[in-house]
Amino acid sequence: MIKPYGSDELNPLFVYDSEEHHKLAAEAEGLPSLLLNSAAAANAVMLGAGYFNPLTGYMNLADALSVAENLHTTDGLFWPVPVVNRTDDIDAIKGAKRIALRDPNVEGHPVLAIQDVEAIEEVSEEQVATMCGQIFATEDKAHPGVATFSGLGRYVISGPIQVLNFSYFQQDFPDTFRTAVEIRNEITERGWKKVVAFQTRNPMHRAHEELCKMALEAVDADGVLIHMLLGQLKPGDIPAPVRDAAIRKMVELYFPANTVMITGYGFDMLYAGPREAVLHALFRQNSGCTHFIVGRDHAGVGDYYGAFDAQTIFDERVPAGALDIEIFKADHTAYSKKLNRVVMMRDAEDHTMDDFVILSGTKVRAKLAAGEDLPKEFARPEVAKILMEHYQSEG
């Protein structure tokens, strides 16, 4: 199987030993506490699950600035986005060497992890703005990633962590949430050697379905990992339970048996476009995947990124040999009325835009909310039905 990123073995930060886990949980009750923001909590979940291997905890300010500027930590580890624990309120943890990190997304704020505090540093507004410009390619507060990152807090708390639970993800998504450790184990159990990963924060329409099948065939893979984000999204995005149900229905009806693993991971969407595409590739390598699909405007939002910036970053800013996972670069896919099948638009040179069935997200939402069927060339009817029920219940 493909090696994890940055080490020979995967080193998840979740404490699996039950005796040690019990001891740490008891210790946490007597430690100074910090209530995390959702972004820091999501980072803890990803560290615990092994997705952010080989990191051992939260970055310090120098590493965060270095990663934002040149995609490397100060000691030379290639990494695409800062992994930080920021806050505005350090009163309860001043001078503490060890603190309990509490979960903002679960009632009662249980302890999510324990952190050894190596430093508490103040980050200036100018430094935050500079990092936003480098990570998101904009400082515009209308960008949801910039808005979130700008408001995370003016103190950076760095140091290694030990993770004690996976927040709400295991409870809310028991059939879908999987750690990188669990995905690697299942790939081994299935006997798969080549695995293509597909990232999604949306339901999958016909074009996404066919893209996975194209990649599966093109690289002669044994299976596809459909890996959906289960964390926080921007307003208007479709909730994870609805996406999960729609994707499961599509796979059940339209994919051959034993060719798809439907899983999810506990992270909040960054909307960082190219930088996030690289992060997605890195943690899919940690999950045991050999190939990763990067399509048009991957992890983008609005018109902040060029259509294929998330592909060119792998050629321009990812050092040769840094990642072992291979990138399957995909064009926009759409149903061709001429050919009566889904194609990559770059392969249909004799087509005009009128030859394709393309609907904007706004038009799709309006149709579903009005109870109108989506074209069968755009969406499987069984998938459209699940989405329609969601939009009509919202209305």
Q: Residue 234's pLDDT is what?
A: 81
pLDDT digit string, tens, across residues 172-184: 999 999 999 999 9
CA 114 – CA 26 distance, rounded (Å): 11
Cβ–Cβ < 8 Å for 55, 83: yes
**Location of each CATH 3.10.400.10 domain in the chain:** 18-167
Cα distances (Å, whole numbers) of residue 26 to 15, 20, 168: 14, 10, 21
CA 256 – CA 193 distance, rounded (Å): 18
Report the top-level CATH class of 18-167.
alpha beta
What average pLDDT does this structure show over 341-365?
A: 85
- Whether 258 is catalytic is no
Q: Which of 201, 248, 317, 365 is catalytic?
A: 201
Burial of 317 (0-12, 13-18, 19+ CB in 10 A): middle
pLDDT digit string, tens, across residues 46-99: 999 999 999 999 999 999 999 999 999 999 999 999 999 999 999 999 999 999
Q: Residue 349's pLDDT is what?
A: 86
pLDDT digit string, tens, across residues 133-184: 999 999 999 999 999 999 999 999 999 999 999 999 999 999 999 999 999 9
**Location of each CATH 3.40.50.620 domain in the chain:** 174-265+273-394
- Whether 202 is catalytic is yes
CA 276 – CA 313 distance, rounded (Å): 10
Cβ–Cβ < 8 Å for 377, 357: yes
pLDDT digit string, tens, across residues 314-335: 999 999 999 999 999 998 888 8
Cβ–Cβ < 8 Å for 262, 296: no
Question: Does the pLDDT of residue 360 top 80, yes or no?
Answer: no
* Helix, strand, or coil (residue 16): coil
Of the candidates 197, 200, 220, 223, the residue with the CA atom closest to the CA atom of residue 291: 197
Cβ–Cβ < 8 Å for 296, 333: no
Cβ–Cβ < 8 Å for 370, 356: no
Q: What φ, ψ does residue 87 adopt, rounded to 5°?
A: -155, 160
Question: Does the pLDDT of residue 5 top 90, yes or no?
Answer: yes
> What percent of the chain shows pLDDT beyond 70?
99
> Which range is least confidently modeled, 108-117, 300-309, 321-330, 362-371?
362-371
Question: Does the pLDDT of residue 395 top 70, yes or no?
Answer: no
Q: Which of 11, 98, 190, 202 is catalytic?
A: 202
Reported as a pLDDT band with limits 50, 70 and 90, residue 386 is: very high
What average pLDDT does this structure show over 263-276?
A: 97
Reported as a pLDDT band with limits 50, 70 and 90, residue 122 is: very high
Reported as a pLDDT band with limits 50, 70 and 90, residue 359 is: confident
Task: For the chain, give the mean pLDDT.
Answer: 95
Sign of CA dihedral 110, 40, 282, 292: positive
Model pTM score: 0.95
CA 348 – CA 105 distance, rounded (Å): 46
Scored b (16 or more CB within 10 A) or e, 332-362 reads: bbbbbeeeeebbbbeebeebeeebbbebeee
Q: Residue 235's pLDDT is what?
A: 80
Q: Residue 233's pLDDT is what?
A: 82
CATH superfamily of 174-265+273-394: HUPs (3.40.50.620)
Q: Residue 202's pLDDT is what?
A: 87
Cis peptide before 319 (omega within 30 of 0): no
CA 324 – CA 318 distance, rounded (Å): 11
Torsion of CA 142, 269, 208, 251, to 10 degrees: -150
Here the tokens at position 16 are 């699996």
